[in-house]
Structure 1
Amino acid sequence: MMAVNVTGVFMTAQAVARQMIKRKQGGSLVLIGSMSGTVANRGLICPAYNASKAGVIQLARNLAAEWGEHGIRVNTISPGYIVTAMTAGLFDAFPERRKDWPNANMLGRLSYPNEYRGAAVFLLSDASSFMTGADLRVDGGHCAW
């Protein structure tokens, strides 16, 4: 979990930044965190996942500090619970989660992958040109309770 979610993200971001610096061309990187990097998930035993996503959020802050002088911005998107093929399998194994997870946020529903497009476009575009080292949490209000 740590190898993929932290080390893999770090190595990929580092490779991209090297090219940006070499070309003297800044830009924006968006790393995928999770609301689980901010809070412990009630009823789930997932310390490795949560720690890895907290690592991604902190990694982005540190990379933003290091690469800002090169015009490279680094931010994270932290999704809430998303309906995916993986979560569909979890719902088969743990049917109560299909009801419990939506009830854990202020909108009372799960999200879908397409709901994160706008956040990604915003962070990659000049609309967020003064934003770096930030975590954009898109979780239906889950962490605001």
Structure 2
Amino acid sequence: MNISAKTEYACIAMLELACQYAGQKPVRIRSIAQRHGIPARFLVQILLQLKAAGLVQSTRGAAGGYRLARDPALVTLRDVTQILDGQPATITSKAEHATSISTTLIDIFNHFRAQQTEMLQTITLAELMQRAEQETNPMYYI
């Protein structure tokens, strides 16, 4: 599975916004861009797409920025990837003549893609926040 820079940056931005969801404090693009080394102009375009899709809201002004429009437990990775990448296309054979071998391979590839989509649908921003927190604060058992 190839992840575009645009999709990766969108997921990073959404997780940053998810971390601030409880306080509903808007997050500035500049802070996300600097923290993760993402070009700010690119991030602006990404957040505008997410806003148009209803996943984020923006506030203008000195205390402005972006925030999640929904609870992080209700936003999945598939929600984000589908906005940026669209619906995955069905894989078709490039072979000139369809054979049982090429048909079998294409069926497997399409099944694999469907499994990826299903998995992305089950992973929420809230779950990813928990995983990131565990990475930051590992537990040591004695």
Q: TM-score, normalised by structure 2?
A: 0.28
Higher Rg of the two aligned structures: 2
Q: Greater share of strand residues, 1 or 2?
A: 1
Higher relative contact order (CA 8 A, sep 6+): 1
